Amino acid sequence: MSARVGAREPGSDRPLPGGPADPGLQPERTSLAWNRTLLALVLSGVLMLRWVPAHGWFPLVISGLTACIALGIATGQARRYRRGVRGMSVGHVGADVVAVAWMVGAVALVSVLALVIVVALPLH
């Protein structure tokens, strides 16, 4: 999926009608969204630690999993940002569908594991 970004009327500095109001800011917005996701995952992992006294080692596994996912986001973020900036310079920016699909799967997995802690595991 790609979109024409920053298209201008011929001989004018005005963007074409229906185009983005702020061409060039898309990589920054995308980067901020990934950073918010990273922060939410780290916070979720830290909050899982409160269940360690009640449930033993299982919450530590979830905290470790969220830390690994957050590390994956952080390492891929620089590549995604550079790709977005490069795409802006040529006029086409595509979505990173694979990264989004992995993130959906990871968040779903962490959510299910957290539900197991809260609902199914007995208290010690």
pTM: 0.67
Assess whether pLDDT exceeds 80 at residue 72: yes
User: Could you give the CA distance from residue 111 to residue 17 in angstroms, rounded to a whole number?
Assistant: 42
pLDDT tens figures, 26-68: 777 878 888 898 899 899 999 989 988 888 888 999 999 999 9
Which amino acid, 63? Answer: S
User: Could you give the CA distance from residue 108 to residue 103 in angstroms, rounded to a whole number?
Assistant: 8
Tell me the pLDDT band of 101, cut-offs 50, 70 and 90.
very high
Cα distances (Å, whole numbers) of residue 3 to 26, 55, 63, 69, 70: 11, 48, 37, 28, 28
Domain ranges of the chain: 27-120
Among residues 39, 35, 33, 40, the alpha carbon closest in space to that of 111 is found at 40
How many CB atoms neighbour CB 58 within 10 A?
15
